[in-house]
């Protein structure tokens, strides 16, 4: 899938590898993320497949860098993927759920502390979606009328992130209450 994320961003404009990473971090991070090293490995692979080209840009006081551009073949590949139907629900991995599943023997106070910490982290992410991410989308739509339709779909994905964080916080709150009730009066 990283392949398609990269092709999708390059379909907007040519970019350097670190710009692709910045674009991902500022937009799709809540549902698709990647390390910079993975991006560069995938860029190299996409270039071998002739889905993109690169051009070296010389810099005086810095190392040379490569600007990547999607090819016609890359646009075709992206378009085929965009028009294909996803037939499976994606498998999610959640370390907290895995840990909680096996934590019946753990001190309940430790579980409650971890849940409280993760609640704060999810609340911080929710606030990010409601402020900075929302502002980035609005500014992008305003600065380029050509991206009006894109902006509608960007907002739909941002809203999913917002709803997910709201649901996760609600689940943490319910789980904290359940643990507190179940072990009320016990040495937890």
Q: How confident is the model at residue 186 (pLDDT cuts 50, 70, 90)?
A: low
The percentage of residues in the chain with a pLDDT greater than 90, rounded to a whole number, is: 72
- Tell me the average pLDDT across 160-170: 96
pLDDT for res 66: 95
Query: Model's pTM, two decimal places?
Result: 0.81
Q: What is the 3-state secondary structure (H, E, C) of the chain?
A: CHHHHHHHHHHHCCEEHHHHHHHHHCCCCCCCCCCHHHHHHHHHHHHHCCCEEEEEECCCCCCCEEEEEECHHHHHHHHHHHCCCCCCCCCCCCHHHHHHHCCCCCCHHHHHHHHHHHHHHHHHHHHHHHHHHHHHHHHHHHHCHHHHHHHHHHHHHHHHHHHHHHHHHHHHHHHHHHHHHHCCCCCC
Render pLDDT for 49-79 as a digit per residue (tens, 0 to 9). Answer: 999 999 999 888 888 899 999 999 999 999 9
Whether residue 185 is predicted with pLDDT greater than 80 in this model: the reply is no
How high does pLDDT run on average in the chain? 92
The percentage of residues in the chain with a pLDDT greater than 70, rounded to a whole number, is: 98
Whether residue 29 is predicted with pLDDT greater than 90 in this model: the reply is no
pLDDT for res 187: 54
Render pLDDT for 75-91 as a digit per residue (tens, 0 to 9). Answer: 999 999 999 999 999 88
pLDDT for res 138: 85
């Amino acid at each position: 899938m990283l392949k398609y994320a990269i092709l999708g961003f390059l379909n907007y404009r040519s970019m350097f590898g670190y710009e692709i990473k910045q674009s991902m971090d500022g937009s799709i991070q809540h549902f698709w993320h990647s390390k910079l090293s993975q991006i560069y490995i995938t860029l190299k692979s996409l270039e071998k497949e002739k889905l993109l080209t690169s051009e070296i840009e010389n810099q005086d006081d810095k190392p040379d860098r490569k600007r990547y551009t999607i090819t016609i073949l890359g646009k075709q590949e992206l378009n085929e993927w965009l028009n294909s139907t996803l037939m499976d629900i994606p498998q999610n991995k959640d370390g907290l759920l895995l840990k909680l599943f096996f934590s019946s023997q753990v001190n309940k106070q430790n579980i409650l502390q971890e849940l409280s910490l993760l609640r704060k982290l999810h609340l911080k992410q929710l606030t990010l979606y409601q402020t900075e991410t929302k502002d980035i989308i609005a500014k992008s739509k305003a600065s380029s009328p050509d991206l009006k339709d894109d902006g509608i779909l960007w907002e739909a994905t941002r809203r999913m992130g917002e709803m997910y964080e709201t649901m996760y916080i609600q689940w943490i709150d319910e789980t904290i209450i359940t643990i507190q009730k179940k072990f009320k009066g016990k040495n937890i």
